[in-house]
Structure 1
Amino acid sequence: MKKLLFALLFPALIFAQKMSTVKGKITNKFKDPIEGVAISYLGQGTTTDKNGFFEFKIPVRKTVAVTFSHVSYKTFTKKFTTRGVRTINFSPTLEIKNQDLEEIIIKNRKKEVQGITDINIKTVETSVGANSGIENVLMTLPGVNNNNELSTQYNVRGGNFDENLVYVNGIEIYRPFLIRSGQQEGLSFINTHLVQNINFSAGGFQAKYGDKLSSVLDITYRKPKEFQTQVDLSLLGGSITVEDVFLDKKLSAVVSARYRDNSLLVNSKQIEADFNPNFTDIQTLVTYTLNDKIDINFLGNFSLNNYDYKPLRRSTRFGTVADPIELTVFYQGQEEDTFQTLFGALSLDYKVSEDFNLTGTLSSFNTQEEEHFDIAAAYRLGEVNTNIGDENFGEADFTQGIGSQINHARNDLDALITSAQVRAVLKDGDNEWRAGVKYQTENIKDRIREWEVIDSVGFSVRPPATNFINEQPYVPFTGPITPFQSVRADNEVDTHRFSGFVQFSRKTSWNDHDIWFNVGVRAQHWSVNPVGLNSKSQIIVSPRAQFAIKPDWESDMLFRLSGGLYAQPPFYRELRGFDGQVNPNTKAQKAIHMVLGNDYSFKLWDRPFKLTTELYYKDLSDVNAYSIDNVRIRYRADNVTDAYAYGLDMRLNGEFIPGSDSWVSFGFLKTEENINNRGYIARPTDQRIKLGVLFQDYVPNLPDLKAYLNLVYNTGVPGGAPAYADPYDFQNRLRDYRRADLGVSYIFVDANKKATNGFLTNFKELTAGIELFNMFDIQNSITNTWVRDVFSKRQFGIPNFMTGRVLNVKLKMKF
């Protein structure tokens, strides 16, 4: 009888064990996660965690009504039915119960009314790119451009790399001075494993941010709450991050060490070379809570970049299909560069009262840089045989030009930047006051020894001069050999800066419309004291304002207007002209900014989306014109240029795939400059059209298998000009920049997928994946190499191509 009863019940027992999983994230209409949502079903229940995530199981082949409820939001019920075991991804958006609660949520939209883009750290951690990290995600935003995947630098709305502010925990971050190519940059200062919040503004930012012309990247590092170790490994390097709390959680510390080797990327380029580029970085953040009012923080960083480069051979074809030309170059010599930086900052946060906070910071940055190279190159410029029936088809069989050049440098730089600042925040209901003062000193010691000798068919080519006509090689010159380019200088510069700001913000209403505004002003006095030259002092004042209104409309719309007079006092690199000499009379570049923006939040496919649109205009004066070679910027240091920039930025972001945030961005830009009243020409950063896509997806029946795609399309920028050439005569553009990076990963363990047995129980998180960089193997160019044709005396701009298709494997572990 027992056997018969078991036989009858066994199928039912097996069926009862079959369960499907429902998981997702609950947010409000502003995409903020909602913690503590009660989820009830079949007499059971669960709640969402602090990030809004939930997970529960339901039986298959049964309709289950699930109720979602929260004290501040409207309750709703959803029915689920599954025919087999599967995972259902469901990420609902809860509606606010009443207008009063909506007012509370509006206060959390402070970043939106300020025109600040808030980037989710999870999006950064899963991004795919040769330089994965925060800057890699920025490249997909409208108005942010760079056609160099080996560099973490970026241009914003027509500005250059030196016009972007970067803060970590309120402290300004600097980069090395002598780096001239993305291959030498190594690691970004920002360590993704330490980041908590990422805020980015592409223009029209507040007075509390410093004196730069283009953008602000404001990073906040997190404070550890428990012991945790994270290890990341890939074919490009690895990192280890350890964090813990001590002394009854009064002391917290996190240390992260990173190592990167770019050999995998640089060996995919067109130049055959013996590369050894390796970069090491150690960062730490220590916080001690003295009492409930005072926190003491220390942020430290050590970075060492070693770049050893021995080029061997290069072969590049260019021109048209009917008239192809091949450049072949043979190299001798090597380049050895070292960039060592030290950074330390000590800060004290004093919470005087609930509404009044003070922060004091002392920081110091030191960089010691060596750039030493001796490279000889012999080149041949030849016509390619296009006769299909010829046995030499495809080979360069007629030489148009033969020449050589020798490049030499012994450049050394030592910079020490020290600052002290105090900032205050006072809140009074809907009013907020912010103020701050800062003192900064900069000591720069720079020794420049750099020259280039060019030889064409046996004759040394002299640099062009007003009293010399170069007729070589037809008429030989019998005088001494003169370098075609030569920079020789010894500079020591001390700069002292006093700066301060004050700003006022208020949230109010007009009828039923919500209004927010901010007004503020910055000022800076600086003095430049070069050894052997007269010192120079100058003052700038920078008023700024922002206004935002959220109309009481049925549609969720927000309008913004911001602008002001922005100024950028010269840093050392801007003081140094093409000849290497310092001009202490160089003035601050100035720009009038106007930005008009709109945010439209709506639902599509029952999921939240937002369309952000911004129109902007910049009128620039006292501009310090420059040239760009890869990431090296050289200034004229004369302030004789006027310029302008205007454009349109648009971004649509939302859950194109349920539970995954993705976006599509579009940008149009036009920027031109007028050098010494000669007429307007395109600036080196005139990147007209930008299209970026960041897309995340997963397999419906296997949601732990995820895919990430980064697409970037930029129209070409001006390709630069040969040395001593007039930029007005060289306005040809580089080819368009097109790149697609694809990543696929599988989550073995994470916060929503716990292991119950086996070795996986040792991990808090375990993810493995592969990445395919430049998946279509498109040849993108970053600069031109200029080569002479001795017959026609023409200068050929030969594109320097970036990295090809590269496969990377990575592993992420948390313990």
Structure 2
Amino acid sequence: MKQFILLTFSFLFFGTLNGQNTSTVFGVVKDLDTEEPIEFVSVFIKGTNIATETNSYGEYSIKVESNKNFTLVLSRIGYTESEFQIKSIPTNKKRNVNFEIAPKVSDVNVVIRGSKIEDVGMVREEVTEFKKLPTASGNFESILPHIALGTTGGTGGELSSQYNVRGGNYDENLVYVNDFEIFRPLLIRSSQQEGLSFPNVDLIRDVSFSSGGFESKYGDKMSSVLDIRYKRPDKFAASASVSFLGASAHIEGSKKLGANAYNKLRYLVGARYKTTQYLLGSLDVKGEFTPNFGDVQTFITYDLTKDLQIGFLGNFNKSQYNFIPQERVSASGLFTQVLQLTTVFEGQEEDGFQNVMGGLSLTFIPEKDKNPLFIKLLASYYNNYENEKFDILGYYRLAQVEFDLEGEGAVNEVGVLGVGTQQLYARNRLKNIISNVELKGGLELQSETKPINNFIQWGLKYQSEDVDDRLSEWERIDSAGYSIPFSESELFLSEVIKSENVIKSHRLRAYLQNSFNIQKDDQYEFKLTAGVRAHYWSFSGETNISPRFQLFYKPLSWKSDITFKLSGGVYAQPAFYKEIRSPQGVINPNIKAQKSTHLVAGFSYDFDWKSRSNKKFRFISEAYYKKLSNLVSYEIDNVRIRYSGINDAEGYVAGLDLRVNGEFVPGAESWINLSLLSAKENLLDVQHQTRSFGDTIATDIKYVPRPTNQAFSLSIFFQDYLPQNEDFKMNLNLSFGSGLPFGQKGNNKVFRNIFNFKPYQRVDIGFSYQIWHDSKRKKSPRHAFRFSRNSWVSLEIFNLLAISNVGSNTWIKTIGNQQYAIPNFLTSRRINLKFKVEI
């Protein structure tokens, strides 16, 4: 029987088993296309009558004769019968071999997946469990804080798709979809403007995520890499959903086009629409919000031959955000001193963002019994147009107030701190075109005499970038009839930015890495991946060399299933356009790449908790240290990252990440993430100082908090269902994080980031009822939803506890040059109703 082994490594591990001359093979059998467990698969030893069958979780376990090679045969109706030869196993040992088998209509027979030792280096998850996760943004990135180590939401809160990883900002994260690097808009300044991010959860098969210390084959960023794989459908399927926040639909399938069975066209098409008007109505700024976001995405592959496949990934994304503010009433402060800001507005804001992306790939994987290899050619084009227009005049009154606790709770003014007007004006436009072509490949060198493998990977990439940026914005502040800054003879604007920048540049990237894997029977398995990256950017004329390594060790003689990890290297991040532009719009041609030297140590432990579930739980712990140099300092206002435009800082990040996941409720997996970190920086040629509240004497310090210094964060995703009726399910999303630091506007160097926002606390909960499932077909043959494969309705409650979280500050300056920070609160409690059907 013809076999295809698609993974480059199979990992074998052994345990303790009572018996004389027998050993055990066990594992899980899944569908190759859906990756769902398959029950009733017959697993037997060829030439014997020894057999077993998979359970409802796709799990099997079978006794075999020790110290003797044998052949396992997998058979099930509707699937291709497949064979796999397994080498001898020592007496009383266990070996884990996982299979993915394909339907008979597929041209692939079987995929054998072992419990690979490298799995601990990246967090890998399927997305099925997370499709019901209640999220206000609707973007896939909302999932990451629950599954990825050291990952938290950005300052934009629940409306934003931005995320921070281990003290880094959003611009320090890599995102790939089917090996294509994904780029994002540059001008967005608030989470209200954010539309749909690139990943479409209806199209995703699985995701891999590394929070640091990742391999050389991944690009040039300092913090993390998100590697997304879209589905490879073998049969028709579709879905559609609608809610108060938008709608989505997708179709997928395959069709034989050609004379041969392998000439298959596979397609994925998804469309989404999102509106946050309902959520924005809970903000403290009242007005007419008109946010409309939509995209269409497709992924198509065609097998030209058995060895050659062509693919296309395309995306069209358009976002339109219009806002006519009317009034705002915000109160903040302590019980003894409450400040209230009342503002009446004139004017409006109109923003538009349009992104077009297209990528072609050609993948060559020849049939080889020895030393398999692959070669892949990728070419992509990204066109981004951003337009930002607003002219808003606000008449404000800042007063100290007190509440009448004995009466009806009325608010009384104690004193007026400031009265004036603030006018914000902008006419900004940015065009960004990125084109690239990449050739990459891999070769596995197998030893016939020793249990040693080498997997060599390499890549070469050329990229061109065209940026056309037009900035024109200013701010005018009038306090008590006087413009600030005040002059008796002239009228000054408090901030003016006007610039025109056109930049054309080129980049060359290359990497080479080797994964060395050795296994010694029942003693240990060892893997070392070492490589180097090179990056040249024509704009700065700088070349960066980044060596990296990942080391994994698994003791097979232990009863506990533990894998240890040590990784690190130099992670250089050559600047993109945002980093080279100062807040005044001036371009710095002498910019150098920011650098982060990583050292990550940790382990993963798979353990049984039989009283909870038959499936294993996993505990992951990682401690890390990052030395930061050549930093371009920045400040964050909502989701807008404003860089200084020069290499003016150095710093460090140290922390500890803990994660446990498993089925606390049988059949419903949950995740718990906890992170501790300290992210500090030092602005060069600046003597930082600090002082406690009420003190008049300042103390010199070397390091100050970075804007992403979230010292503590906890994220929980928990699932449950009614024991008597599993059609009723509950999904709970809990997030807690200590307050992010910030500094005084316009004066944030010496006393840098000395304040902190209040802690971020949020609970979202969803209740879903499965209206229909294929398993009900015999019981209810005339059901209204019998045309579908699966249908459910969900009731989601966002911000269940109605906690007022803060996204940013509005700064009010008086004629006496005093500044007051009035918090801009994020969304309050909202209820969403969602219906989804899958065909």
Q: What is the TM-score of this pair, normalised by structure 1?
A: 0.86
Answering whether residue 475 of structure 2 is matched by residue 452 of structure 1, we say: yes
Deviation at 1:385, TM superposition (A): 3.1
Q: Which among 642, 645, 651 is matched to residue 650 of structure 2?
A: 642
Query: How do residues 672-683 of structure 1 correspond to structure 2 at under 5 angstroms?
Result: 672-677=680-685, 678=687, 679-683=702-706
Change (3 A) 1:419 1:215: same
CA contact under 8 A between 1:142 and 1:691: conserved in structure 2? no
Q: CA deviation at 1:605?
A: 3.0
Contact 2:718 2:732 (C-alpha < 8 Å) held by counterparts: yes
Select the residue among 341, 346, 358 that pairs with 2:360: 346
CA gap of 1:121–1:769, structure 2 versus 1, over 3 A, is: same
Which residue type is aligned with residue 291 of structure 1?
A: T
Tell me, in whole angstroms, the C-alpha distance in 2 between the residues paired with 1:734 and 1:414.
34
- Aligned partners of 1:127 and 1:133 also within 8 Å: no
Going from structure 1 to structure 2, the CA distance change for 1:33 and 1:811 (only over 3 Å counts) comes to: closer
> CA shift at 1:729, angstroms?
4.9
Aligned residue among 715, 724, 732 for 1:709: 732
Structure-1 residue corresponding to 2:102: none
Shift of 1:722: 1.1
Residue aligning to 1:16: none
2:247 paired residue among 233, 238, 258: 238
User: Is the 1:684–1:717 Cα contact (8 Å) retained in structure 2?
Assistant: yes
CA-to-aligned-CA distance 1:481-526 (integer Å, 9 cap, x gap): 1210111100001120000101000211357111111000000111
2:331 to 306, 317, 330: 317
Letter in 1 for 2:638: N
2:385 paired with 1:368:
yes
Alignment partner, residue 654 of structure 1: 662
Q: 1:287 to 1:570 in 2, by over 3 A?
A: same
Classify the secondary structure of the residue corresponding to 2:361. strand
Match of residue 761, structure 2, among 738, 757, 766: 738
Selected match of 1:400 from 411, 414, 417: 417
The equivalent residue for 2:174 is 165
Cα deviation code 1:461-499 (max 9, x no counterpart): 02xxxxxxxxx5xxxx22221210111100001120000
1:809 counterpart = 2:833: yes
Q: CA deviation at 1:393?
A: 3.7
Q: In the alignment, which of 780, 793, 798 is matched to residue 768 of structure 1?
A: 793
C-alpha spacing 1:419/1:646, structure 2 compared with 1 (3 Å): same
**Residue of structure 2 aligned with 1:783, choices 784, 791, 808:** 808
Distance 2:37 2:265 in 1: 29
Residue 412 of structure 1 aligns with which residue?
A: 429
**Amino acid in the other structure paired with 2:375:** L
Change (3 A) 1:351 1:717: same
Residues of 2 paired with 1:202 and 1:416: CA distance?
A: 29
3-state secondary structure, aligned to 1:415: strand
Deviation at 1:226, TM superposition (A): 1.7
Cα distance in 2 for partners of 1:621, 1:507 equals 33
Partner deviation per Cα, 1:614-639 (whole Å, 9 max, x = no partner): 00000000001001111111111211
Q: Could you report, residue by residue, the CA deviation over 1:375-418 in whole angstroms, capped at 9, with x for unpaired residues?
A: 01111011213454578942335322111111100000000000
Q: Equivalent residue of 1:395, what SS? A: strand
Q: Which residue of 2 aligns with 1:383?
A: 400
* 1:489 maps to which of 499, 509, 513: 499
Superposed counterparts of 1:684-699, under 5 Å: 684-699=707-722
Say which of 143, 147, 171 aligns to 2:150: 143
Structure 1 position 97, deviation (Å)? 10
Gaps of 5+ in 1: 1-25, 55-67, 75-94, 463-471, 529-535
What is the alpha-carbon distance in structure 1 between the residues aligned to residue 93 and residue 712 of structure 2? Answer: 42
Secondary structure, in 3 states, of the residue corresponding to 1:135?
A: helix
Q: Which residue of 2 aligns with 1:131?
A: 137
- Residue among 733, 755, 758 paired with 2:783: 758
What is the CA distance between 1:692 and its match in structure 2? 0.7
Equivalent-residue separation in structure 1 for 2:773 and 2:456 (angstroms): 42
> For the Cα contact (< 8 Å) 1:645–1:671, is it kept in 2?
yes
Conserved 8 A contact 2:213-2:599: yes
Question: Are residues 69 and 597 of structure 1, via their aligned partners in 2, closer, same or farther at CA, if it must alter by over 3 Å?
Answer: closer
Instruction: Pick which of 347-356 and 748-757 moved more.
Output: 748-757
Amino acid at match of 2:473: E
Q: By how many angstroms is 1:330 displaced?
A: 1.0
Task: Give the drift of 1:169.
Answer: 0.3
In the comparison of the two structures, how many residue pairs are matched? 731
In structure 2, C-alpha distance between the alignment counterparts of 1:640 and 1:156, rounded to whole Å: 22
Q: Which residue of 1 aligns with 2:509?
A: 499
**Code of the aligned partner of 2:96:** E
8 A Cα contact 1:749 1:764, kept in partner: yes
Asked if structure 1 preserves the Cα contact closer than 8 Å seen for 2:465 and 2:504, the reply is yes
State the shift of 1:600 in Å: 1.1
Q: How does 1:248-397 map to 2 (within 5 A)?
A: 248=257, 250-354=264-368, 355-388=372-405, 393-396=410-413
Taking the aligned partners of 2:29 and 2:811, their CA distance within structure 1 comes to 55
Name the aligned partner's letter for residue 526 of structure 1. Answer: W
Deviation at 1:460, TM superposition (A): 0.6
Q: Distance in 1 between matches of 2:549 and 2:295?
A: 39
CA drift of 1:721 comes to 2.7
What does residue 629 of structure 2 align with? 621
The DSSP-based 3-state class of the residue aligned with 2:188 is: coil
TM-score, scaled relative to structure 2: 0.83
Cα distance in 2 for residues equivalent to 1:29 and 1:556: 20
Supply the AA of the counterpart residue of 1:557. Answer: I
1:175 to 180, 184, 187: 184
- Segments of structure 2 that go 5 or more residues without pairing to the other structure are 1-25, 44-50, 67-88, 100-111, 258-262, 447-452, 688-701
Aligned-partner Cα distance in 2 for 1:340–1:320? 43
Q: Partners of 1:655 and 1:619 in 2: how far apart?
A: 37
Q: Which residue of 526, 535, 538 maps to 1:524? A: 535
Q: Decide which of 402, 423, 435 is 2:440's aligned counterpart.
A: 423
Distance 1:785 1:259, change over 3 A: same
Query: Who is 2:572 aligned against?
Result: 567
Q: Which amino acid aligns with 1:662?
A: S
SS of the residue 1:495 aligns to: strand
RMSD: 2.7
- 2:600 corresponding residue in structure 1: 595
Once the two structures are TM-superposed, the CA of residue 123 in structure 1 deviates from its matched residue by: 1.9
**Is 2:219 aligned against 1:207?**
no
Q: Deviations over 1:624-655 (max 9, x none)?
A: 10011111111112112001000000001111
Distance 2:775 2:248 in 1: 24
Amino acid aligned to 1:702: N
Structure 1 residue 343: Cα displacement? 0.2
Q: Distance in 2 between matches of 1:121 and 1:581?
A: 43
Q: Quick one: structure 1 residues 27 and 807, their matched pair in 2 at CA, closer, same or farther if it must change by over 3 Å?
A: farther
- Bigger mean CA deviation after superposition, 739-748 or 391-400: 391-400
1:152 to 144, 153, 161: 161
Shift, 1:243, TM fit: 2.1
Give the deviation of 1:798 after TM superposition. Answer: 1.1
Q: Name which of 821, 824, 832 aligns with 1:800.
A: 824
SS at match of 1:582: coil
Question: Partners in 2 of 1:319 and 1:202 — Cα distance?
Answer: 37
Partner in structure 2 of residue 89 of structure 1: none
- Bigger mean CA offset, 95-104 vs 743-752: 95-104
Q: 1:751 to 1:758 in 2, by over 3 A?
A: closer
User: How far is 1:27 from its partner?
Assistant: 6.5
| Aligned-partner SS, 2:751 | helix
**1:759-787 per-position Cα deviation (integer Å, ceiling 9, x unaligned):** 22211111111100000000000111111
Corresponding letter in the other structure for 2:223 = S
Aligned residues of 2:399 and 2:417 also touching (Cα < 8 A): yes
**Where does residue 203 of structure 2 map in the other structure?**
194
Q: From the superposition, tell whether residues 263 and 513 of structure 1 become closer, same or farther in structure 2 (CA, over 3 Å).
A: same
Secondary structure of 1:514 counterpart: strand
Contact 1:113 1:516 in 2 (8 A): no
Shift of 1:149: 0.7
Mapped to 1, the partners of 2:636 and 2:65 lie a distance apart of 54
Q: Secondary structure of 2:279's partner?
A: helix
Aligned amino acid, residue 339 of structure 1: F
1:101 aligns with 2:70: no
Q: Which of the residues 538, 550, 560 maps onto 1:546? A: 550
The Cα offsets for residues 730-783 of structure 1, whole Å up to 9 and x where unpaired, read as 511000000000001111223544453232221111111110000000000011
CA distance in 1, matches of 2:724, 2:588: 65
